[in-house]
Structures are given as C-alpha cells and as structure tokens.
Amino acid sequence: MIESVHTVRGQGVTIMAKQAKITLENGGEVVLDLFEKDAPNTVANFEKLANEGFYNGLSFHRVIPGFVAQGGCPNGTGTGGPGYTINCEINPNKHERGSLAMAHAGRNTGGSQFYICYQPQPHLDGQHTVFGKVAKGMEYVDAFNNGTKMAKVEVSEA
C-alpha cells in the first residue's frame, strides 16, 4: 500500500486515496489517481467493474492522437456497457492531458466506457465526469493504438 503524505499547516498528514492500475497486455502499467471526493459514484462504479474483472481483456477501441484514448466497451466498438447507466457527476476538474473521464452517449448514459485525454479538451469540461488523472505511465497511453488491450484493471487504496 502506498501512502501519500501531504503537509497541512506545517503538520504531516497521511492521506489515503484510491488509485487504479491498468496493466496492459504488453506489460506496461498506467496508474491513475481517482477523484473519489469529486465523483464518488463514478469512482465506486469504476472500482466495482474493475475489481469484478469487467475490464480485463477489453481494448481501447477508439484512439485519436491529440484527443482521447477510449476503452471499456465489452463489444469493442463503443456500443456496449455493463447493462446499466450511471448519472453524470459534473465537477470542477478539467479535461487536461492525462485526465480520466466517463464516456457517454448523452447526459446520464455512462456505464463502463472511459477515456484518457492526450491534450486539454476544454469543450468537454462540464459535459463529462472527470474522475481521475494519470499519475504514472502516460508514455504507455501515448503509444496506444486502436485495439491496445488491458490485461487487468484494479482499484485499490493508494
């Protein structure tokens, strides 16, 4: 277990937070800090799906350099999901390089598909739930292509 230590008014305070780890088929790892405070239901849904193995073996089916890498569709086409939808949790987090957000076909239609931004996408701010950010491994995201597979996705306390 990794602990983040932050200083608050001169005192060391240990803060525990959730992290996701995407292990790629090629062995690369992408570690994401999850924004549980800003998007609690979205993080809980992602954690549930990840820890149940839903994402294992799925691919990034939509990779557009300079825009986003999108994955989490069980059909591999952008048309599938977990069989239910979740509500958006719009928050102040911005779509920056490395931001993790929920994909959807319209407000409150997200489920399992997510994307990672390659560059800032301000036109998506306030439209999609940003619920995390790449902490380590952005070089692997930069190397994604359509079909890059996730061997395993897991969420744990960091």
Domain definitions of the chain by residue range: 18-157
d(CA 94, CA 127): 10
Helix, coil or strand: residue 43: helix
How many CB atoms are located within 10 Å of the residue 52 CB? 10
| pLDDT above 50: residue 7 | no
Between 3 and 132, whose confidence is greater? 132
Under the banding of pLDDT at 50, 70 and 90, the label for residue 4 is very low
d(CA 19, CA 39): 14
What is the pLDDT averaged over residues 54-73? 98
Token duo for residue 19: 């992290």
pLDDT value at residue 158: 80
What is the pLDDT averaged over residues 39-54? 98
| pLDDT above 50: residue 9 | no
pLDDT value at residue 41: 98
| pLDDT above 60: residue 6 | no
- Residue range 18-157 forms a domain whose CATH class is mainly beta
Between 100 and 8, whose confidence is greater? 100
Least confident of 14-28, 56-70, 106-120, 129-143: 14-28
> Of 24, 13, 6, which is closest to residue 147 (Cα–Cα)?
24
pLDDT value at residue 15: 55
Token duo for residue 135: 């902490």
